[in-house]
Amino acid sequence: MSEKKLRLEIVTPQRKVFSEDVNFLVAPGSQGELGILPDHAPLITSLNIGIMRIEQDGQKFKVVVSGGFMEVRNNRTTVLANSAERAEEIDVARAQAAKKRAEERLASRSPEIDILRAELALRRALMRLKAAGSE
């Protein structure tokens, strides 16, 4: 007898990032991490900037999501993310440059700098680097 799975779809406004059957996933929910197994109760939640960890037939994957929503229903999990990137797609040099830029903006505390935007950019860059194994 085969192990029960759930369908995971991760979609952004630009593309479909992931669409496969998986054994388990952990998502960065707005109130903390959420573990999702097959036959999970129906759920809708907002997502934070973070790393979604996916297990599929003994293999593990990471996808960085930058906000959005997740719905779990009938062994199907749909993630509508503002942006999402598989760990292997991350351009480490670009993420390091974004981190440096955000840190410089936050350090300057100039009145024309949008502090919240700089903090979010820094969080996104840090998550991208962590998922890629560079930080």
- CATH 2.60.15.10 in the chain, residue ranges: 6-87
pTM of the model as a whole: 0.87
The more confidently predicted of residues 126 and 1 is: 126
pLDDT at 2 over 80: no
pLDDT at 1: 39
CA distance 126 to 48: 13
**Residues 75-130: tens digit of each pLDDT:** 999 999 999 999 999 999 999 999 999 998 888 878 888 888 889 899 999 999 99
**Residues 42-69: tens digit of each pLDDT:** 999 999 999 999 999 999 999 999 989 9
Q: Between 1.20.5.440, 3.40.640.10, 3.90.1150.10, 3.30.70.260, what CATH number should domain 91-132 receive? A: 1.20.5.440
